[in-house]
């Protein structure tokens, strides 16, 4: 039955509350039915696209296509449905669609409930098979050998800086960066206990402890803090001990059935971690990309200025530069660079050719869509 508002007019726009609520609920039920029908219609088209991709040996996962589609939807969204919710809803639709075409396996630094796990779910959605790995090195290894389709690894935190191990692994890895994820880091105090006065010890990763130092000193100054390998492992330990607590995410609280005793205990409100999606293929342009690369140069006066000068001449924005010692040769350094644009753009091609002539080593790690 189609519901209209002629009944409301009959009552002069002042229908009894129960009657009005019933009409609205029936209208929502009809809309939800239409949404379900359209999702299934979309899925049938997705299956046809998957068959074509299989025949033509094309990649199933194309983050640049997802990015363009989300940008277009945001532009035409007139509200009141919020942009951030629109992104979350369609990420799950993309995830379900991808699982219909070709189920993919994504590895992350585990165990379940880490911020890397949360970043993986935000990017790939819940229809992707998520596989916890014991280390960042293991994520690289499993993707390289084809046992995982993609991996998600941390690259830098706005408070703690760069993750050196991730940078080092790129030096010898053939993998490419396929996407980036920017995740706000919000720390909570989790426990089985019902109040702060019942907590006798705290488990935490050292980085999380450092980011909550002021709150801990003000609220639990005499409670010992035990280091753990991850915030998720800290939550696991707290779930095993009735008077222990953990500094971890809201997602970890859900997984390990813990109470949030105190919310948002971090000392820094603008705390973000950047993650990278790594895979075996290069990504096509999305119109709003970054390119990451590494290079090494001879040790001579002014050499860094010389190699970076072409970026300035071509008006290419450098968003990050980081140096690391080259472990195979003393006092030799590797520079990691993030720039705006895609490696296929003419001005970036020209600049990379110039950089290659002046470098003893140049490796493009990938071009990929900027994080939303």
User: DSSP character for 198?
Assistant: G
Tell me what pLDDT residue 330 has.
63
8 Å CB contact between 298 and 360:
yes
> CA 279 to CA 147: how far, in whole Å?
11
Q: Hey, what CATH class is 188-262 in? A: alpha beta
Tokens representing 56 are 């033509």
Tell me what pLDDT residue 2 has.
47
Catalytic: 275?
yes
DSSP assignment of 44-70: HHHHHHHHHHHHHT--S--HHHHHHHH
Beta bridge mates, 15 = none
8 Å CB contact between 39 and 93:
yes
Per the model's pLDDT, the better-predicted residue between 302 and 93 turns out to be 93
Q: Is the pLDDT of residue 92 over 80?
A: yes
Q: Hey, what CATH class is 285-369 in? A: alpha beta
Q: Is the pLDDT of residue 12 over 60?
A: no
User: Among residues of the chain, what percentage have pLDDT more than 70?
Assistant: 94
Q: How many residues does the chain have?
A: 372
Which of 6-15, 121-130, 309-318 is least confident? 6-15
Question: Quick one: average pLDDT of 93-107?
Answer: 85
Tokens representing 83 are 């942009």
Tell me what pLDDT residue 7 has.
47
Q: Is the pLDDT of residue 15 over 70?
A: no
Q: Where are the domains of the chain?
A: 1-58, 188-262, 285-369
For residue 246, which of 185, 210, 258, 218 has the smallest C-alpha distance?
258
8 Å CB contact between 129 and 150:
no
Distance from the Cα of residue 187 to its chain's centroid: 17
> CA 53 to CA 58: how far, in whole Å?
5
Per the model's pLDDT, the better-predicted residue between 7 and 199 turns out to be 199
Element (H, E) at 155: strand 150-157
Catalytic: 273?
yes
Condensed to tens digits (0 to 9), the pLDDT of residues 234-284 reads: 999 999 999 999 999 999 999 999 999 999 999 988 899 999 999 999 998
Tell me what pLDDT residue 104 has.
86
Give burial (CB, 10 Å; 0-12/13-18/19+) of 84. exposed
Tell me what pLDDT residue 5 has.
46
State the CB neighbour count (10 A cutoff) for residue 300.
8
At a CB cut-off of 8 Å and minimum separation 6, what does 348 contact?
291, 314, 316, 339, 341, 342
8 Å CB contact between 106 and 150:
yes
For residue 150, which of 284, 291, 277, 64 has the smallest C-alpha distance?
277
Q: What is the mean pLDDT of the chain?
A: 88
Distance from the Cα of residue 14 to its chain's centroid: 48
150 sits in the region (left: phi over 0; alpha: psi -120 to 50; else beta) called beta
Tell me what pLDDT residue 11 has.
44
Q: Which of 275, 295, 311, 336 is catalytic?
A: 275
Per the model's pLDDT, the better-predicted residue between 177 and 72 turns out to be 177
Tell me what pLDDT residue 8 has.
45
Condensed to tens digits (0 to 9), the pLDDT of residues 155-173 reads: 999 888 889 899 999 999 9
8 Å CB contact between 231 and 204:
yes
Q: pLDDT band at residue 363, thresholds of 50, 70 and 90?
A: very high
Angle (CA) 216 221 222, round 5°: 135
8 Å CB contact between 356 and 337:
no
Q: Is the pLDDT of residue 367 over 90?
A: yes
For residue 315, which of 347, 357, 285, 344 has the smallest C-alpha distance?
347
Question: Quick one: average pLDDT of 279-307?
Answer: 87
Q: Which of 231, 273, 291, 351 is catalytic?
A: 273
User: DSSP character for 62?
Assistant: -
Sign of the CA dihedral with 347 first, then 348, 353, and 354 last: positive
Per the model's pLDDT, the better-predicted residue between 12 and 43 turns out to be 43
Q: pLDDT band at residue 106, thresholds of 50, 70 and 90?
A: very high
> CA 351 to CA 342: how far, in whole Å?
12
């Amino acid at each position: 039955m189609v519901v209209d508002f002629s009944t409301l007019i009959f009552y002069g726009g002042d229908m009894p509350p129960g009657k009005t609520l019933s009409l609205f609920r029936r209208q929502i039920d009809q809309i939800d039915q239409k949404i379900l029908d359209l999702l299934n219609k979309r899925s049938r088209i997705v299956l046809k696209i998957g068959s074509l991709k299989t025949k033509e040996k094309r990649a199933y996962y194309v983050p640049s296509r997802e990015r363009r589609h989300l940008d277009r939807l945001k532009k035409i969204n007139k509200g009141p449905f919020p942009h951030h919710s629109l992104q979350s809803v369609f990420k799950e639709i993309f995830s379900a669609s991808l699982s219909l075409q070709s189920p993919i396996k994504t590895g992350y630094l585990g165990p379940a409930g880490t911020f890397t796990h949360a970043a993986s779910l935000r990017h790939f959605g819940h229809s992707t098979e998520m596989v916890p790995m014991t280390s960042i090195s293991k994520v690289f290894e499993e993707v390289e050998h084809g046992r995982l389709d993609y991996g998600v690894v941390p690259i830098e935190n706005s408070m703690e800086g760069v993750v050196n191990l991730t940078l080092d692994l790129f030096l010898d890895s053939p993998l490419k960066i396929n996407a980036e994820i920017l995740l706000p880091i919000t720390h909570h105090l989790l426990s089985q206990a019902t109040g702060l006065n019942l907590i006798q010890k705290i488990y935490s990763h050292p980085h999380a402890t450092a980011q909550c130092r002021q709150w801990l000193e003000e609220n639990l100054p005499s409670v010992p803090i035990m280091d753990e390998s991850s915030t998720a492992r800290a939550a696991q330990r707290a779930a095993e001990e009735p008077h222990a607590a953990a500094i971890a995410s809201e997602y970890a609280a859900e997984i390990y059935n813990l109470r949030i005793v105190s919310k948002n205990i971090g000392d820094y409100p603008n705390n973000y971690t950047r993650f990278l999606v790594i895979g075996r293929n290069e990504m096509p342009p999305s119109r709003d990309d970054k390119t990451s690369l590494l290079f090494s140069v001879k040790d001579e006066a002014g050499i860094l200025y010389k190699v970076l000068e072409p970026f300035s001449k071509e008006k290419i924005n450098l968003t990050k530069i980081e140096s690391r010692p080259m472990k195979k040769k003393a006092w030799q350094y590797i520079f990691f660079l993030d720039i705006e644009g895609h490696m296929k753009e003419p001005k970036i091609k020209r600049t990379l050719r110039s950089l290659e002539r002046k470098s003893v080593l140049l490796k493009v790690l990938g071009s990929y869509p900027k994080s939303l």
